[in-house]
Amino acid sequence: MTERELDEILTVRWPLVLRRVMADGSDTWLQGFARSIARHGKRPTWQPSPKQAALMRQLAAELGHPKQDGFELIER
């Protein structure tokens, strides 16, 4: 994982991932993982392991975007 990709995930997408995982409340392991990554991400020299990086990418892709509720922002 490049530093740029890590920075983007931790600053832009991870807060959304963390909120969604914590709100769901059904998977305690996933909650612990999300909190752990948020905690480790504050250290400037930390780099995720390959396994952590893969899971971070997957979670960011699935949960790291604002919810689309199916409504239009522009009136017709």
End-to-end CA distance of the chain: 43
Residue type, 67: K
**pLDDT score of 71 more than 70:** no
Token duo for residue 57: 């990418």
- Band (pLDDT 50/70/90 cuts) for residue 69 is low
Token duo for residue 27: 């998977």
If one compares 66 and 25, the residue with the highest pLDDT of the two is 25
- Band (pLDDT 50/70/90 cuts) for residue 26 is confident
pLDDT at res. 67 = 66
Predicted model pTM: 0.78
